[in-house]
Structure 1
Amino acid sequence: AEQIGYPVIIRGGFALGGKGSGRATHAEELTELCKVAFVESPHVLVEEDLTGWKEIEYEVVRDSADNCITVCNMENVDPLGIHTGESIVVAPSQTLDNTDYHMLRSLALRVIRHLGIVGECNIQYALDPRSRAYRVIEVNARLSRSSALASKATGYPLAFVAAKLALGATLPQLRNTITGCTSADFEPSLDYVAVKVPRWDLQKFRFVTDQVTSEMKSVGEVMAIARNFEEALQKAIRMLNIGADGLYPVPFQFPDLTREVKRPTPRRIFAVAQALRSGWTAEEVSIATGIDRWFIERIATCATMADTLEQSTFRVLDHPTLRHAKQLGFSDAAIGSLMRVDAHAVRSLRIQHGIVPSVKQIDTLAGEFPAQTNYLYMTYNGTADDCASVNASTCSAPMIMLGGGPYSIGSSVEFDWCCVQATHELQKQGHRVAMINSNPETVSTDYDECNDLFFEELTEERVLDIVERTAAKGVVVSMGGQIPNSLAPKLARHGVHIIGTTSENIDRAEDRHKFSELLDTLSIDQPEWREFSDLQKATAFAEQVSYPVIVRPSYVLSGAAMAVVHSSEDLEAYVGQSAFIHKEAPIVISKFEQGAKEIEFDGVAQDGMLLLYAISEHVENAGVHSGDATMILPPQRVNLETLRRLKIIARSIAHALDISGPFNIQFLAKNNRLKVIECNLRASRSFPFASKVTGHNFITLATQALLHTADTNARYQTVDLDHVGVKAAQFSFSRLKGADPRLGVEMASTGEVACFGQNAEQALLTALLAVGFRMPKKNILLTIGSLEDKVDMLPAMQELIRMGYSLSATKHTHEFLQGRGLSSALLYKLSENRSPNIQEYLEKRRVDIVINIPTHSTPRERTDGYYIRRLATDHGIPLITNVQLAKRLIEALAQEDLDTLPLLSWPGIVDRTV
């Protein structure tokens, strides 16, 4: 660092997603960054700081005969210093001149030949915008995140071609699978632009910094395709499903606009949009952000149109202006909002005047040779359709499958699996299927998984466009999660046929008031709840049902900010943090059932008749979101009478809602009483898990139920199995600097695993190992908040000592153990500023695992417990924050030998049961 001069960039070797990376401006910062990087990697890279340079990527393939082509080049809108996974990316590059483009292309070909790579590789460059100086940042001689994006952006099947080349084929021998009429030795040509925008969910984490850096924090991404950058960017923003109709109207308030423009965060694109309508010039914004002026000028074009629309009267809106607005990517809803009219009025006007999108195809050829493909997008910058496959007069009308949209916390690959499985079953039954999705990371957006792929936004406007253009038989909304499910009533109002459970019954389950009335009618118990627009009345209700209570806004942008509150002071603080409550934005308060077990019921019904179900129990008690909970199937600690009553209640609800298709019910069980939390008339995130553990494909049967073709006489065994499956959550707290890694009612996990065992203990240990949890060898730190939890954990702590573990504990936990004759070493908290100190032990990795059970109070500040959890996470030390999970883990360690855990194959183990 001293040799090349500060500032420098630190990167952990072999770390994905920029993990452990950062920018150091002096030696002290370098030391701190290296400490973090060495937790994840055996060595670090110290590199020249190129912050502010352009970042360009090329995807290259080469065969054993030295045939070599560049498949795609991509440009990051954000300058270097922001991880490419965190940046808006455009393909092909937009600001390179011909000289720069071919210089970098030639270099890419020279590099892949010099390295002798056969297959596919990705090369990343830094390019100085003030000169032609460049640096090769890295070469990935493998398929990468960028490879997936390039493949979807061009239609060139990179993974397929790379596999064939590895087996000895040459590029001229391979057919281009999307066209069928050209060879793979043909560089794709694009007559459109693809824009990728990341999706973040940072608002779900307390204390996390929202600054975007060289370390990835995004959980998903979308890709939009259009004929100009403006249209593609606005489509991509809508695809994110964060409540924005595009760049305008800007959905956020910026008290300090200058700071928001200069500071890279998930909201900066909106701050740029606001600045351009607030008098900033494109040059000023470009200097403040480091973003090339060309991109800023394109956004400025949209700002000018937003001004025009806002200052115009809808009754006299001229058609050229409306058409131009649509060509710039403004949605009907955005135009309506800017002009203070309903979106449906805008839709009616443009259809009346023939302003409708064209259907264009991605063929890798830019129309140079005639080709018919099923990879489609829609644009207002076209005068005719590219293909006949969407014309109902020349092709059978399809069923439309709505995908899940971007991966986010709460919606991930589970729903994509459901969409793909359902698509295959529909095709098997003779139906043509058109998929609509916007996520380049998914299998559902592979063009060979369906009859027609529309790489498009999942909005009311665009789905209606496609339904009308294809004369679709109907739309499947129950497989892709909450985004398509929430579109059901909107589509139904336009006369669109919802395949499966009716939109009216979907609404009865989704609407809290209607569903509550239904449960009362069926004499099914539920937690007490009310909706409030007044803090005083809310407090009175909370005191009436007794604290703790769960509080959530009835509607919140991009996800519910739920919390468990234990006092009127906590409730008042929650309301203050969530914004002032009023009639248009009430809060919902429901009684929180302490000590209750949460149970999931995944089912398939046809015409209200239950056909197939799976019951899973949560290891953690209620209070941990179902997406974060450790699930066991079949349930191990639920008695037969409870299982019988679960089934009776589920049958009753399925019949009352006349369900045809998948559904999920969440129950609370306490003292032999069952209460229903909610019912979702769609596939749940646990459907793939239930399908694989039981050996019965829930989605295949659910798809048959949608079509009313399922065999109602078939019987399925899902309870008495010879094996046990455990689903465990994968968390990314180590990437989210500052975030509190404790579990709660708001989902925090970014992935999951499922593992099998001959019993629950084997399955649990295997699942925890699969998410990277290192089992303790000797030293365990215990810090348990409440006396109730200490007493609950006592047998488990006794078992740890019996097994030979050495226990360390904070003061009150240490005294509790000492008082019961159990030995432990006292460690002082950070605030006590004494040795031996927890910070010293964790930094020196003298602890194998931390069991930190927080108190039940709602934390409003960074406590000692927070710093213990954060230190453990930052130093890669396994952390458990839940009593039930800690107890089950200790029981499993006592019962099973980690060295002899059986390796069970799937589907082999399931076949023996089924």
Structure 2
Amino acid sequence: MQKSIKKVLVLGSGALKIGQAGEFDYSGSQALKALKEEGIKTVLINPNIATIQTSEGIADQVYFLPVTPYFVEEIFKKEQPDGILLAFGGQTALNCGTELYNKGILDKYNVKVLGTSVEAIMNTEDRDLFVKKLNEIGVKTPKSIAVESMEDAFKAAESIGYPLIIRSAYALGGMGSGFCYNEKELKELAENAFSYSNQILVEESLKGWKEIEFEVIRDKNDHCFTVASMENFDPLGIHTGESIVVAPTCSLDEKELALLQELSKKTIRHLGIVGECNIQYAFNSETDDYRVIEVNARLSRSSALASKATGYPLAFVAAKLALGYSLDQIGEMGTPNSAYVAPSLDYYICKIPRWDLNKFAGVSRLIGSSMKSVGEIMSIGKSFEEIIQKGLRMIGQGMHGFVGNSDLKFDNLAEELSHPTDMRIFAIAEAFDKGYTIEKIHDLTKIDPWFLGKLKNIHDYKLKLQTYDHIEDIPADVMLEAKRLGFSDFQIARFVENPQGNMEAENIRTRNYRKKLGILPSVKRINTVASEHPELTNYLYLTYDGSDHDIPYYKNDKSVVVLGSGAYRIGSSVEFDWCSVNAVQTARKLGYKSI
């Protein structure tokens, strides 16, 4: 570790915004925890009072100030830190750090950027530099021209050819971006994009290609690997934050996966990133052609997802790497508790976004390259069918999983499928009801047939359940398969009994019958890496696709369950994370086991 580092300033992300939310409280808190473990004094700048990282006992000093160069310089004068961390506060912190560097403020106060250098950050953020850098090693990027005037935007469009995607440089959550098919649309989009940034990017459209993402970690000794592979359920053209994301990748074969993993390592090494980053690809499975869309030299929403999904604490490890540790020094080498190797998964996870668009009058429900979702959930299971059904119940918008939301009806189904909205997944369920084939839905949505095939399995099993007249007629193997495919007792009762009145009574009847058949879930666990007590790891999930429990059952009279608030909504967000964490910590101090 760098012995000279005694005090570090961490840049937070400020107020929650659409496109930048609780994930940066998580990454910042992890970084502060890692610094504290090393006995380093920590200073945090973040005006958001509702976060964990601004709570007592996390950082030594907290400044509730805007994350801007002016205020950071004032903190430099007063606190005189030795180092600064830029990668834990989202795009806000990254942009602020770049400005501090360009204005010479970091040099003036002799503050060292820990982890990935500002030059490497600028190589990933400035499109021109990024493309030049990747051209040096023959890695393909989308044909792209960075422009600073309308006139140049039209020239760029002419040289690349329509359709195009327009994006703002240095913007968060895809702000100001969109697709255009002619000059009129280009003019509208470019004018909008210039209102967010003085540099915009005119790029070839790869709409309909697969979007694949990797979290990559690299230490100072050049030990580098991909920690998690993720695949967007939606094809390119829908922002990752607007998309259902599944890990590990589902529709790629071993050869395709290996190709992209090798490209990831090659790219990250060449960019000189130390710590954690993510790399996004557009991938065409028919031709095995690819483009690197972007590299985020910072923690992101995907990294929070990947940390929970794999049990590999990316932010914690990235902070240790920034202090000069190598991966073999984090956790315990040669054990599953070491940060030196990537975790392997024997389960699937998916992230599903939640929108709150019905709270606004007149807002377009269409989703695309600019983010509108306000929250998300993660579900864990042994099959895609299980995680998608569980996940849709968790977001509170499709109360009955993938099938059974008969109150949702679409006037123009083909339009709904080809122009995605926040309700598209339920439109797919209705399309199966109306006899659409997988091929037809694929043509309209460009969603990979692998995913559509799994959704059709759920639809087909619903039809099977509807052939029974009474709950007690269902054989044990049919009931087990329904549970394995993620059907809730409530859903099963609905398809078999079709009750008009007391759903709750039917639900209880179904549950009692299922238990009588001996069909019960097993408790499974995600092992966590580099944790203080690996045997007490706390990420648990229930599945009907396993026979034994991963952990023994402890009868414990002194235990307390804390109910969290679920996916962020407008009017309910990170403040309830703060409340839950404080409740759990207090319970623990009083000697209770907290759940």
Counterpart amino acid of residue 18 in structure 1: G
Report the number of matched residues. 426
Instruction: Work out which of the residue numbers 184, 189, 198 in structure 1 matches 2:353.
Output: 198
**Structure 2 unaligned spans of 5+:** 1-156, 500-505
- Find the counterpart in structure 1 of residue 15 from structure 2: none
- Find the counterpart in structure 1 of residue 494 from structure 2: 337
1:78 equivalent to 2:239? Answer no
Q: CA deviation at 1:98?
A: 0.7
Q: CA deviation at 1:39?
A: 1.0
| Distance in 2 between residues matched to 1:290 and 1:351, nearest whole Å | 41
- 8 Å Cα contact 2:166-2:190 kept in structure 1: yes
| Distance in 1 between residues matched to 2:201 and 2:182, nearest whole Å | 16
- Find the counterpart in structure 2 of residue 421 from structure 1: 582
- 8 Å Cα contact 2:558-2:591 kept in structure 1: no
Pairing 1:230-245 to 2, within 5 Å after superposition: 230-245=385-400
Instruction: Work out which of the residue numbers 443, 449, 453 in structure 2 matches 1:293.
Output: 449
Instruction: Return the TM-score normalized by structure 1.
Output: 0.46
Match of 1:2, SS state, is helix
Q: CA deviation at 1:432?
A: 0.3
Q: What do the CA deviations read for 1:489-534 (whole angstroms, capped 9, x no partner)?
A: xxxxxxxxxxxxxxxxxxxxxxxxxxxxxxxxxxxxxxxxxxxxxx
Larger radius of gyration: 1
| Distance in 1 between residues matched to 2:528 and 2:585, nearest whole Å | 26
- Find the counterpart in structure 1 of residue 162 from structure 2: 6
- Find the counterpart in structure 1 of residue 274 from structure 2: 118
Counterpart amino acid of residue 381 in structure 1: D
Q: CA deviation at 1:181?
A: 4.8
- 8 Å Cα contact 1:361-1:386 kept in structure 2: yes
Q: What do the CA deviations read for 1:192-233 (whole angstroms, capped 9, x no partner)?
A: 000111000111111111111100000001110000000000
Q: CA deviation at 1:398?
A: 2.3
Quick check: 90-99 or 240-249, which moved more?
A: 240-249
- Find the counterpart in structure 2 of residue 141 from structure 1: 297
- 8 Å Cα contact 1:50-1:126 kept in structure 2: yes
- Find the counterpart in structure 2 of residue 833 from structure 1: none
| Distance in 2 between residues matched to 1:302 and 1:232, nearest whole Å | 12
- Find the counterpart in structure 2 of residue 477 from structure 1: none
Q: What do the CA deviations read for 1:19-51 (whole angstroms, capped 9, x no partner)?
A: 000111112211111111111112101111000
Q: What do the CA deviations read for 1:383-419 (whole angstroms, capped 9, x no partner)?
A: 010112xx134x5652111111000112101111111
Query: Closer, same or farther in 2 for the Cα pair 1:23/1:8, shift >3 Å?
Result: same
Q: What do the CA deviations read for 1:431-481 (whole angstroms, capped 9, x no partner)?
A: 0001xxxxxxxxxxxxxxxxxxxxxxxxxxxxxxxxxxxxxxxxxxxxxxx
Aligned-pair Cα RMSD in Å: 1.7
Counterpart amino acid of residue 392 in structure 1: Y
Q: CA deviation at 1:185?
A: 0.6
1:37 equivalent to 2:193? Answer yes
Structure 1 outlier segments of 4+, above 4 Å: none
Q: CA deviation at 1:371?
A: 5.2
Query: Closer, same or farther in 2 for the Cα pair 1:10/1:330, shift >3 Å?
Result: same
Pairing 1:713-732 to 2, within 5 Å after superposition: none
Instruction: Work out which of the residue numbers 365, 368, 376 in structure 1 matches 2:540.
Output: 376
- Find the counterpart in structure 1 of residue 263 from structure 2: 107
Instruction: Work out which of the residue numbers 507, 515, 520 in structure 2 matches 1:351.
Output: 515
Match of 2:195, SS state, is helix
1:258 equivalent to 2:414? Answer yes
Instruction: Work out which of the residue numbers 396, 402, 405 in structure 1 matches 2:563.
Output: 402
Pairing 1:581-592 to 2, within 5 Å after superposition: none
Counterpart amino acid of residue 584 in structure 2: T
- 8 Å Cα contact 2:168-2:194 kept in structure 1: yes
Counterpart amino acid of residue 559 in structure 2: P
| Distance in 2 between residues matched to 1:378 and 1:180, nearest whole Å | 26
Match of 2:202, SS state, is strand
| Distance in 1 between residues matched to 2:201 and 2:512, nearest whole Å | 58
Q: What do the CA deviations read for 1:279-330 (whole angstroms, capped 9, x no partner)?
A: 1111211111100001001000000111111221223111111111010001
Q: What do the CA deviations read for 1:350-381 (whole angstroms, capped 9, x no partner)?
A: 1111111110000169xxxx955221111111
1:249 equivalent to 2:414? Answer no
Q: CA deviation at 1:261?
A: 2.2
Q: What do the CA deviations read for 1:580-627 (whole angstroms, capped 9, x no partner)?
A: xxxxxxxxxxxxxxxxxxxxxxxxxxxxxxxxxxxxxxxxxxxxxxxx
Query: Closer, same or farther in 2 for the Cα pair 1:372/1:180, shift >3 Å?
Result: farther
Pairing 1:159-174 to 2, within 5 Å after superposition: 159-174=315-330
- Find the counterpart in structure 1 of residue 83 from structure 2: none
Q: What do the CA deviations read for 1:152-204 (whole angstroms, capped 9, x no partner)?
A: 11110000000000000000110069x97531011110000001110001111
| Distance in 2 between residues matched to 1:195 and 1:88, nearest whole Å | 7
Q: What do the CA deviations read for 1:630-681 (whole angstroms, capped 9, x no partner)?
A: xxxxxxxxxxxxxxxxxxxxxxxxxxxxxxxxxxxxxxxxxxxxxxxxxxxx
Instruction: Work out which of the residue numbers 480, 484, 498 in structure 2 matches 1:323.
Output: 480
Pairing 1:542-691 to 2, within 5 Å after superposition: none
Match of 2:363, SS state, is coil
| Distance in 1 between residues matched to 2:515 and 2:300, nearest whole Å | 42
- 8 Å Cα contact 1:181-1:371 kept in structure 2: no
Q: CA deviation at 1:253?
A: 1.2
Instruction: Work out which of the residue numbers 413, 417, 432 in structure 1 matches 2:593.
Output: 432
Counterpart amino acid of residue 166 in structure 2: I
- Find the counterpart in structure 1 of residue 183 from structure 2: 27
| Distance in 1 between residues matched to 2:229 and 2:558, nearest whole Å | 37
Q: What do the CA deviations read for 1:118-155 (whole angstroms, capped 9, x no partner)?
A: 10010000001221110000001111111111111111
Counterpart amino acid of residue 315 in structure 1: E
Query: Closer, same or farther in 2 for the Cα pair 1:7/1:176, shift >3 Å?
Result: farther
| Distance in 1 between residues matched to 2:539 and 2:350, nearest whole Å | 16
- 8 Å Cα contact 1:190-1:364 kept in structure 2: no
Identity %: 51
- 8 Å Cα contact 2:348-2:384 kept in structure 1: yes
| Distance in 2 between residues matched to 1:386 and 1:372, nearest whole Å | 11
Pairing 1:776-787 to 2, within 5 Å after superposition: none
| Distance in 2 between residues matched to 1:372 and 1:132, nearest whole Å | 43
| Distance in 1 between residues matched to 2:558 and 2:495, nearest whole Å | 36
- Find the counterpart in structure 1 of residue 208 from structure 2: 52
- 8 Å Cα contact 2:392-2:398 kept in structure 1: no
Match of 1:3, SS state, is helix
Q: CA deviation at 1:258?
A: 2.1
- 8 Å Cα contact 1:11-1:45 kept in structure 2: yes
**Structure 1 unaligned spans of 5+:** 435-914
Instruction: Work out which of the residue numbers 308, 313, 338 in structure 2 matches 1:152.
Output: 308
| Distance in 2 between residues matched to 1:176 and 1:68, nearest whole Å | 18
Q: What do the CA deviations read for 1:684-712 (whole angstroms, capped 9, x no partner)?
A: xxxxxxxxxxxxxxxxxxxxxxxxxxxxx
- Find the counterpart in structure 2 of residue 437 from structure 1: none
Query: Closer, same or farther in 2 for the Cα pair 1:181/1:261, shift >3 Å?
Result: closer
